Amino acid sequence: MTNATERTVVITGGTGGIGLQSAMGIARTGARVLVTGRDRGRGEAAQARLIEETGNERVQLVIGDVSSVGGVDALAAALTTRTERIDVLVNNAGYLGNEPSTSEDGLEMHFAVNVLAPWRLAQALLPVLRATGNARIVNITGGDKPAAVDVDNLMAEKGFRGLMTYTHSKSVMESMSMALSRELEPHGVSVNIVFPGRASTNMTRSLSSSGLPGAMKLMLPFFRLFFADDGGKSAAKAARSTIWAATTSDLDGVTGRYFDTNSKETKLHPTAYDPQVQRCILAAIEQATGGGAT
Ligand X SMILES: NC(=O)c1ccc[n+]([C@@H]2O[C@H](COP(=O)([O-])OP(=O)(O)OC[C@H]3O[C@@H](n4cnc5c(N)ncnc54)[C@H](OP(=O)(O)O)[C@@H]3O)[C@@H](O)[C@H]2O)c1
Q: Which residues are catalytic?
A: 166
CB-CB contact of 63 with 78 (8 Å): yes
- What does R_g of the chain's alpha carbons equal in angstroms? 18
Which stretch, 15-23, 126-134, 250-258, 273-281, contacts ligand X (CB under 6 A)? 15-23
Distance CA 229, CA 199 (A): 9
**What percent helix, strand, coil does the chain show, rounded to 5?**
50, 15, 35
Task: Name the residue nearer to ligand X (CB basis): 104 or 265.
Answer: 104
Task: Out of 7, 10, 17, 122, name the contact with ligand X by CB under 6 A.
Answer: 17
- Is the Cβ of residue 17 or residue 25 nearer to ligand X in the bound state? 17
Residue 66 is a binding residue for ligand X (CB under 6 A): yes
* Residue 94 interacts with ligand X (CB under 6 A): yes or no: yes
| Residue 45 to residue 195: CA distance in whole angstroms | 26
- Interface with ligand X, residue 18, by CB under 6 A: yes
CB atoms within 10 A of CB 287: 11
Kindly state whether residue 198 participates in binding ligand X, applying the rule CB under 6 A.
yes
Least distance between ligand X and beta carbon 253 (Å)? 25
- Is the CB of residue 120 less than 8 Å from the CB of residue 289? yes
d(CA 116, CA 286): 9
Is 245 within 8 Å of 26 (Cβ atoms)?
no
**What minimum distance in Å lies between the beta carbon of 37 and ligand X?**
3
Indicate whether 65 belongs to the interface with ligand X (CB under 6 A). yes
**Contact range with ligand X by CB under 6 A, out of 48-56, 60-68, 154-162, 275-283:** 60-68
CA separation for the pair 107, 113 (Å, rounded): 10
**From CA 164, how far away is CA 144, in angstroms rounded?**
11
Kindly state whether residue 271 participates in binding ligand X, applying the rule CB under 6 A. no
Interface with ligand X by CB under 6 A: which range of 120-128, 186-194, 197-205, 265-273? 197-205
Residues near ligand X (CB under 6 A) are 12-19, 37-39, 42, 65-67, 92-94, 113, 140, 142, 196, 198-199, 201-204
